[in-house]
Structure 1
Amino acid sequence: MKMLASLALGVSLIASAAVAQTAAPRADQTEFRALYKELVETNTTLSAGSCTLAAERMAARLKAAGVPDSQLTLFAVPEFPKEGGLVVVYPGTSKSLKPMLLLAHLDVVEAKRSDWVRDPFTLIEEDGYLYARGTVDDKAQAAIYTDTLIRFAKAGYKPKRTIKLALTCGEETSGAFNGAEWLAKNKRELIDAEFALNEGGGGRSDGKGNLLVQSIQVGEKAYQDFTLTATNPGGHSSQPVRENAIYAMADAVAKIRDYEFPLEFNDTTKAFFAKAGAMRKDETGKAMAALSANPADGAAEAVVNKDKMLHSMLRTTCVATLIDGGHALNALPQNVTANINCRMFPGRTAEETRAALAKAIGNPGVKIEERVKDKPIAKAPPLDPKIVGPMEKLAAKHFPGIPVIPSMSTGATDAVYLGATGIPTYGVPGPWTDPDGNGTHGLNERIEIRSLYAGRDYLYDLVKVLSSK
């Protein structure tokens, strides 16, 4: 799951620029719209959809554009036949340059028709927006990357650097089959690259046609769920005792609520707080700048912590999300469980996070276990000027006057699996969302048509520039 342009800068706090008004679509945009529509309308939910079908449809379009079968690898495993994906290898002319990798996921979050105003799996245009599940997360990027290689093939473009594209499944569901993880573990040579471009960056508008900021995601937290378990022999509810599994769990969850992981900075978050803080003219902006200069400034931290996004960027966070317990209305509980969802700061391990939770709870009777074991540690990639520089330069061309800020996502993407194999992965600028997040992961997901087309043009140029050097 991504947090597209996770920047809470505030509409009035930075200079904005009006995005060019929508003109009649170009011929290439019309062709792209058909590809995008086909991908969006292919249901890829875990419950009822098929990423395998979506991958096959994208492969068919690439083949029709002239990409040979030898450059297309459709993959799936027998246990999960509908959760397959596609890897494309578009060869470069250089024998010394390592490839670049484009990564996007095909799967989407569940969407019930009864909850939505419109059919979530029919692309519907209204008031300058396109509505459907996956219009943003992450089929916009998957479609743009696929379309980019189609355009390259039709034009006969020969990059210096080989371009690889991996369209995978499983990003939206922790514990499900994950295509990026499977490729990293089983087909490392197929996706081997010097660096990768992924989701997680992007723009933020004021919701009124003004683009405020573009971000480059340089690092993210690692996702981990912990299961807390409290047990008790139980008994008849007419004779209650103090040792109660529900009370033990309630105490444990309350202590986690009150526990604050220590503040941390890395190169990305330090740059973000300094640059974004300097743009803001309010108390929070001053505190951000002060904290980046002196992480021990407790007064500045207290101000920054009032903003939930900024607070989360500074530390590991853990929160109770589910609780279950008891077996009868008239019996003392024998077993109570709770799920604690943690987002671990880059470099932090599940074991040290588990140990911190155990210390905060202070009750060895409450068992703590990782829900999914052996997940990789999040590794923040470097602020490499060879990659970040072209992103910023092209953003100045495509989005003049708009600041570009490196950021660390408080969410998580499949970048964690690539980082674990030594492939630094960056979330790119491009399409933007409104302040409400455009319904991503929620109801009535949508993308502004101007955002989709402008982001497509930017990413096409970015891939061309990065593959030509």
Structure 2
Amino acid sequence: MERLAWALAGAVALVAALPATAQTRPDQQSFLTLYKELVETNTTLSAGSCTDAAAKVAARLEDANYPARDVTLFAAPGHPKEGGVVAILPGSDPAAKPILLLAHIDVVEANRADWARDPFRLVEEGGYYYGRGTADDKSMAAIWADALIRFRQTGYHPKRTVKLALTCGEETTFAFNGAAWLTRNRPALIAAEFALNEGGGGRYGDDGKPELLAIQVGEKAAQNYTFATTGPGGHSSQPTSDNAIYDLADALKAVQGYDFPVRFTDTTRAFFTAMAQDRKGTPPLLAEAIRRLLADPQDAEAAALLDRDKTFRATLRTTCVATLLAAGHAENALPQRATANVNCRIFPGETVAGTLAKLKDLAGPKVTVTANAPIRPTAIPPALDPQVLGPAKAVAARYFPGVPILPLMSTGATDGVFFESIGIPVYGAPGLMFDADGNGMHGLNERIGVKALFEGRDYLFDLVKAYAG
């Protein structure tokens, strides 16, 4: 997800350049100015700077009368462009544990030649805002920072301390990760009873109306493994059975053919239970298969029925898939080396080492399998805490009356896994609505609905107040 940055300087000029349908409330216009600046700050790993974005956020917070002691800019040596910012709004009750608002401000790469519009210019068109990061994750980063600014400007005094952490590196595996750095080096700075993060949200139906809200309660841990094999090589005119490419291919086919065991967390059990009870939206045969699998996770026939849906399949187990290949050194030579990257999404509670052991068993003796750095922590599923889920549902009932809200486990991964590793449960907040196609996140022409953005902003603002007291 992406990082958020905005500066007060130049605000008048930015307001003049806003899209023609800018919202009418003064606080909405102010937010849109911030959001525009954030989207138009390039924070890709190749050419951008999260540090610049974080500094702009800090400047806006300080202009809203946050003292310097409550705004912390950070960057690790050797990573001058991958910094972040932490801000604190102190609460009035020292016995009440803080809450943490988490978002990332880095973004996926975007090639201008591939996009219909400049990816680093906020464009409003057809009821959407277009631009890299408009949805992932500068929408949430902007909303959280804007909320802290509004709290200070309106004189709101929460009972519990509200903290904000905007970090870099969520979208890249090998770059510096600000969330990991904070949890290792500044745990007291971001200590909280729980955190609100990306990963939740909602979905519009075909009729354009909200049909479902989701609060993320848990996620998988992402981990890459390298499969490598070698051979003696030789002239391609005299092939032998000792071929590094074939050995690697056999290992990868073994991974493709293996299904990790079905597992449930409290969250996925609650999700599938709700799906089995939804007679309107779930076909009876599928609902029955869900009920069977809930009763017996080893029911292979029921699992096979659910596996026809790729989301269900990924929600039920650890998954591993080949994503990169490299082999050989000449067109007319037998390969001396072949390697592949296998990307695994490890089910909560299962470990990198345990998954490695299974992959080694599948690969066989001719292929070496190693876990790639960085090695992520074991994913720890948060509890279905009514003190977290209750306010989310209560506020949603006001903004999205009649829309069901379900707990779900993300089959992907966010920076939440780092905070959970030090005892801070992380929940993906609902409120921001998306189309069924994913709004181009990580792809071309990323977008978010104008109505969805502003309605989600109001929902999340009230949600934070509901938690903070």
Q: TM-score range by the shorter chain?
A: over 0.9
Residue 319 in structure 1 maps to residue 318 in structure 2: no
Preserved CA contact (<8 Å) 2:223 2:375 = no
Q: Does 1:146 align with 2:145?
A: yes
**Hey, what does 1:41 align to over in structure 2?**
40
CA contact (8 A) 1:278 1:289 kept: no
RMSD: 1.4
One-letter code of the match for 1:292? Answer: L
CA-CA distance at 1:161 after TM superposition: 0.3
Q: Aligned equivalents of 2:442 and 2:238: distance in 1?
A: 46
The Cα offsets for residues 334-381 of structure 1, whole Å up to 9 and x where unpaired, read as 1100000000000111111011111122x2120001111442100000
Secondary structure of 2:322's aligned partner: strand
Contact 2:97–2:160 (8 Å) recurs in 1: yes
Q: Which amino acid in 2 is paired with 1:464? A: K
Give the secondary structure class of the aligned counterpart of 1:397: helix
Q: Does 1:57 align with 2:56?
A: yes
8 Å contact 2:234–2:333 — kept in the other structure? yes
Aligned residue for 1:235? 234
Task: Give the equivalent residue in structure 1 for 2:311.
Answer: 309
Q: Which residue in 2 is equivalent to 1:438?
A: 439
Higher relative contact order (CA 8 A, sep 6+): 1
Please name the residue that 2:352 is paired with.
Answer: 350
Q: Secondary structure at the match of 2:430?
A: coil
The residue type paired with residue 449 of structure 2 is E
Contact 1:276 1:405 in 2 (8 A): no
Aligned partners of 1:390 and 1:466 also within 8 Å: yes
CA distance in 2, matches of 1:432, 1:293: 33
2:123 pairs with 1:124: yes
Residues 303, 23 of structure 1: alpha-carbon distance in 2 compared, 3 angstrom cutoff: farther
Alignment of 1:169-180 (within 5 A): 169-180=168-179
Alpha-carbon separation, structure 2, partners of 1:411 and 1:374 = 16
Decide whether aligned partners of structure 1 residues 23 and 403 sit closer, same or farther in structure 2, where only a CA change above 3 A counts: farther
Partner SS, residue 190 of structure 1: coil
Query: Following TM superposition, by how much is the alpha carbon of 1:207 offset from its aligned partner in structure 2, in angstroms?
Result: 4.9
Q: Which amino acid aligns with 2:367?
A: V
Report the counterpart of residue 6 of structure 1 in structure 2: none
Distance 1:397 1:445 in 2: 29
**Structure 1 match to 2:252:** 253
Q: Is the 1:102–1:196 contact (alpha carbons within 8 Å) kept by the matching residues of 2?
A: yes
Matched, 1:225 2:224: yes
Shift of 1:285: 3.4
TM-superposed deviation, 1:400: 0.3
Identical positions, percent? 56
- SS at 1:104 equivalent: strand
Pair 1:106-2:108 in alignment? no
Cα distance in structure 2, aligned partners of 1:285 and 1:450: 34
- 1:465 matched to 2:461? The reply is no
8 Å Cα contact 2:325/2:339 also seen in 1 = yes
Q: Residue 278 of structure 1 contacts residue 286 of structure 1 at CA under 8 Å; is this kept in 2?
A: no
Structure 1 residues 56-205: aligned runs within 5 Å: 56-205=55-204
Correspondent of 1:288 among 287, 290, 294: 290
CA distance, structure 1, for counterparts of residue 360 and residue 367 of structure 2: 8
Aligned to 2:14: none
Residue equivalent to 1:371 = 372
Task: Give the conservation status (yes or no) of the 8 Å contact 1:227–1:370.
Answer: yes
- Using the alignment, how far apart are the partners of 1:281 and 1:310 within structure 2? 12
Q: How many residues align?
A: 448
2:113 counterpart SS class: coil
Deviation at 1:276, TM superposition (A): 2.2
Shift of 1:39: 0.5
Q: Is the 8 A contact 1:230 1:335 kept in 2?
A: yes
Unaligned runs of 5+ residues in structure 2 are 3-20
Tell me the residue number matched to 2:338: 336
Q: One-letter code of the match for 1:345?
A: F
Separation (CA, whole Å) in 1 of partners of 2:416 and 2:370? 24
CA distance in 2, matches of 1:77, 1:405: 38
Distance (whole Å) between structure 2 residues aligned to residue 213 and residue 341 of structure 1: 30
In the alignment, what sits opposite 2:362? Answer: 360
Take 2:258 and 2:122, find their aligned partners in 1: how far apart are those partners?
44
Q: What is the SS of the residue equivalent to 1:119?
A: coil
Q: Is the contact made by 2:174 and 2:374 (CA closer than 8 Å) also made in structure 1?
A: no
SS in 1 for 2:114: coil
> What code does the residue aligned with 2:181 have?
W
Amino acid in structure 2 at the alignment position of 1:458? Y
Query: CA 1:25–1:288 in structure 2 vs 1: closer, same or farther (change >3 Å)?
Result: farther
Equivalent residue of 1:81, what SS? coil
Contact 1:104 1:141 in 2 (8 A): yes
Is this contact kept in 2: 1:219–1:409, CA < 8 A?
A: yes
Contact 1:222-1:343 at 8 Å conserved across structures: yes
Report the CA distance between 1:23 and its aligned residue: 10
Q: 1:300 Cα shift? A: 2.4
Q: Is the 8 A contact 1:103 1:167 kept in 2?
A: yes
Superposition misfits of 4+ residues, deviation over 6 angstroms: none
SS of the residue 1:287 aligns to: helix
Query: What is the distance in 2 between the residues matched to 1:222 and 1:130?
Result: 31
- The answer as to whether partners of 2:275 and 2:282 remain within 8 angstroms in 1 is no
Q: Report the secondary structure of 1:251's partner residue.
A: helix
Question: Aligned AA for 2:46?
Answer: S
Alpha-carbon distance between aligned partners in 1 of 2:43 and 2:468, rounded to the nearest angstrom? 30
Residue 228 of structure 1, CA deviation: 0.4
The SS at the match of 2:75 is strand
Flag the 1:131–1:208 CA change in 2: closer, same or farther, 3 A: farther
Which AA in structure 2 matches 1:85? G
Q: State the distance in 1 between where 2:346 and 2:199 align.
A: 17
Matches of 1:338 and 1:173, distance apart in 2: 19
Q: What SS does structure 2 have at the residue aligned with 1:122?
A: coil
- Runs (5+) with no aligned partner, structure 1: 3-21
Q: Distance in 2 between matches of 1:290 and 1:122?
A: 50
Partner in structure 2 of residue 453 of structure 1: 454
Q: How far 1:293 sits from its partner (Å)?
A: 3.7
Deviations, residues 263-287 of structure 1 (Å, cap 9, x unaligned): 0011000000011232234133342
| Map of 1:399 onto structure 2 | 400
